[in-house]
Amino acid sequence: MGNTSRNRNRSSQSLSERYGEAPDKAQQLRTTFVVLVFLCAFCVVSLRLIQLHLSPHHLLNDQEIRHIGKIILDQPRGEIIDRHGVVLATDKDIPSLWADPGDIDNPEAIADILVPRLNLSRDVILGKLSKTYADGREKKFIWIERYLKDTPPEVLEDIETLTEGKVVVRNEPMRFYPQHDTASHLLGFVNKEGVGSEGVERAFNDYLKSEPGEYAARKDSRRRLLESQTLKFNAPTGGDSIQLTIDTQIQEALESALDLRIEERQAKRAMGILMNPHTGEIIALANRPAYDPNEYNAYDATLRKNSAIFDVFEPGSTFKMVTAAAALEHKIITPETVIDCENGYFNPYGHTITDHTPMAEAPFTLCFAKSSNIATIKVAALLGPERMEQWINRFGFGQRTGGNFSTNESRGIFRPMNEWSRLSMGSLPIGHEIAVTMPQLVRAYAAIANGGYLVEPYYVERAIARDGTTVYQHERKEAQRILSEDTARTMQWLCEQVVLTGSGKMAQIENYRVGGKTGTAEKPGKSGYSKKLNMALFAGFAPIKDPQIVAVIVVDEPVLYPRFGGYVCGPVFKQVVEKALILQQVPVDPVPRELLAGDGILNEGDLLFTRLSESESLAIEESLDDLLEPLDSLELVARNGDSILGVQGLPDFRGMTKQQVKKELWDLGIPWDPRGAGWVISQHPLPGTALTDVALCSLEFGNRVAAPHIDMAAAEPASG
């Protein structure tokens, strides 16, 4: 037993000497931990190997990354074209230089190449070529210099060659306006970041902008991308073209005419708008002076503002159309209604109203043609403030016109009736105490031109994708009728008299009959209205037979006299509208030759009532006495009207020439209807008829020798 025990102890001792002592618990824990660490590492490596096996294009290391190249695929921004396809805005490829700092081992050598060729600061170039940003992030792409439009191509090729392709030339799209300042306020511009700013560029930026694509591939030893080793391709999207309704030729004609008028009248600025009165299509819209959107940064921001949409102004006498149309629609007056214009001075509401052309009693046609403030205020008094407010709203003043203008256009300024003062009914009817925009005013006159409908102006027709499909189409809203056709035609005729015999003669077009209204609005000064600053206006349409163009011309603060709307703006309207009608091949509609004097201009008083056809003329449904009923203490004419200018009864015109009769009737304010040539051989009504009973004097001219003799003593006055 003892030997056996000794042998065991001896054996244990020899094993201990050979292999050491058995591990204790602490050693066992450490061993287990190490095994687990190695096991986790093995799992990670195994998973990584599986990932690399299943994704062969996955990048293995930083060195592999350097052999992968990426290109951003830019697509040009959509073009803007006019109604005939003339390009107004497009993208132009401009070279730029870029590099991957990780590819450049010697920035100093690269800087030596770039500095003399690009005239750049060495420190700036070295700063760009540093491999990391300030926060430690590695740079993958940097622009060395962009939009090198003035650098010769051979210099750029030199740079690529000398840098062994480490500095790369890349063409970037840059917005370009080939027509320069043409329609610049309507177009807007694109800033350096490629974002549309103002105008169409901004309003339709979502259609015009393009989203870049991406192309990635392996690079060869010369850093060129290998198409056969393409790793990724995403095509660019967007870039729709926008087609406008404007006509570039007419737009340029309008701008040239406005520029010339500014120079001739030493004016501050000018605006104009031409529109199709039936559809609402804007054919031209201009603000002058203008700016070149190619160099937009060189111009003050105020000059880039589209004043024709944003700015408001008092419409002056062009607003009298609203008063006249409302009174005609309610049958309060007719064109023949005689109104006492008080010889040019009137104080109905505690404020003196004056007329530029003083008159006594005259038919409304003449009052409108001569732009009588007094007659207009008297007619408005018959309407009353409630109906006056209703009709101002009905014509769309104080509201945005909608369409493409809805996000930019001002509402104008028009206070509700409960905020009117005691002077408002002496101001609003003649275009004061209200401010309008160009689209509002042209739309109002379009309602006269198109037969009584309020249309929605617009200037963008459609957006066209690159595959030719239409992705946006302007939807014309149903036009709202605000006037009867008879009233609209009567207003057309009244507006024609303004051009033929009144304040709008300078707007006459030789081969087209024109209707319109002049306006001269004094501008607010420090204390009331300024006598030195005014805004001249003309609003009109042509041809009368079937109006195809309605236009508003505004010249702000003309210095040289005369500064009236007809004189300042009429010639611009004539020049531009005539060209527009010819370009659109509108059939001629000349003024009848019998209406024209030898100089081709209709003299004052000549055939004042060259009316519509008999079937279209308006019947007088109310007697003159009914119309003379005063309202707001105002009367159209004095009641003791047997004598006008001291004349008792209608004179005997027999034996007189046309010129003699014309002068007599003009002084009396009576319209006439002459027939034939020579001397007066008969007249109706007969001589001696009470002047208040004479709405129209019909005269027959012939050979004086053959004229019958009438005993005036035996003649009985007619009743009218």
pLDDT of residue 602: 40
Q: Are strands 241-244 and 80-81 parallel, antiparallel or unpaired?
A: parallel
How many angstroms separate the CA atoms of 666 and 223, rounded? 91
Helix (H) and strand (E) counts in the chain: 21, 30
Integer CA distances (angstroms), 380 to 323, 325, 327, in order: 6, 11, 8
Residue carrying structure tokens 């009470």? 690
Determine phi and psi for 715, rounding to 5 degrees. Answer: -75, 135
199 contacts 188 by C-beta, under 8 angstroms: yes
How many angstroms separate the CA atoms of 565 and 261, rounded? 12
Is the model's pTM score more than 0.85?
A: no
Q: Does some domain include residue 674?
A: yes
Determine phi and psi for 249, rounding to 5 degrees. Answer: -65, -45
Pair 224, 252 in one domain: no
Q: Does some domain include residue 604?
A: no
Q: Does some domain include residue 204?
A: no
- DSSP codes, 567-600: HHHHHHHHHHHHHHHHHTTPPPBPPPGGG--TTS
Structure tokens at 364: 């409304």
Pair 146, 262 in one domain: no
Pair 218, 300 in one domain: no
Pair 445, 534 in one domain: yes
Pair 229, 256 in one domain: no
Quick one: which H or E segment has residue 489? helix 485-501
3-class state of residue 672 by DSSP: strand
What CATH number is given to the structural domain containing 679? 3.30.10.20
pLDDT of residue 282: 96
- What angle, rounded to 10 degrees, do the helices at 373-383 and 320-329 form? 40
What CATH number is given to the structural domain containing 382? 3.40.710.10
511 contacts 588 by C-beta, under 8 angstroms: yes
Q: DSSP character for 681?
A: E
573 contacts 516 by C-beta, under 8 angstroms: yes
Pair 419, 539 in one domain: yes
pLDDT one-digit tens code per residue, 48-82: 777 766 665 554 555 565 666 666 676 888 999 99
How deeply is 291 buried, as exposed, middle or buried, from its count of CB atoms within 10 A (0-12, 13-18, 19+)?
buried
Pair 419, 442 in one domain: yes
Q: Does some domain include residue 612?
A: no
Pick out the chain residues at pLDDT < 70. 1-22, 52-72, 74, 218-233, 405-408, 525-531, 593-635, 637-648, 669, 692, 695, 704-720
Angle, alpha carbons 490-496-497 (nearest 5°): 95
What CATH number is given to the structural domain containing 152? 3.90.1310.10
Q: In what order do the strands lie in the sheet with 549-556?
A: 282-288, 269-275, 549-556, 529-542, 515-524
pLDDT one-digit tens code per residue, 694-703: 767 888 888 7
Structure tokens at 161: 């060659």
Pair 162, 220 in one domain: yes
Pair 11, 118 in one domain: no
Which sign does the torsion angle of CA 542, 548, 550, 555 carry?
negative
**Sequence letter at residue 33:** F
Pair 214, 274 in one domain: no
- What b-and-e string marks burial along 109-138, b requiring 16 or more CB atoms within 10 Å of the CB? ebbebbbeebebeeeebeebbeeeeeeeee
Q: Does some domain include residue 23?
A: yes
How many angstroms separate the CA atoms of 168 and 157, rounded? 9
Structural domain boundaries enclosing 668: 640-706
Q: Does some domain include residue 711?
A: no
Domain end residue (candidates: 595, 616, 631)? 595
Total count of domains within the chain: 4
How many angstroms separate the CA atoms of 604 and 503, rounded? 10
Q: Does some domain include residue 60?
A: no
How many angstroms separate the CA atoms of 245 and 461, rounded? 6
Longest Cα separation, the chain = 187
pLDDT of residue 229: 64
Q: Does some domain include residue 629?
A: no
Pair 301, 229 in one domain: no
312 contacts 399 by C-beta, under 8 angstroms: no
Domain end residue (candidates: 542, 577, 595)? 595
377: left (phi over 0), alpha (psi -120 to 50) or beta: alpha
Residues with Cβ < 8 Å from 516, sequence gap 6 or more? 445, 495, 498, 499, 504, 507, 538, 539, 540, 541, 573
Structure tokens at 165: 């392709």
pLDDT one-digit tens code per residue, 575-603: 999 999 999 999 998 887 655 543 333 43
Q: Is the peptide bond before 651 cis (omega within 30 degrees of 0)?
A: no
Pair 356, 405 in one domain: yes
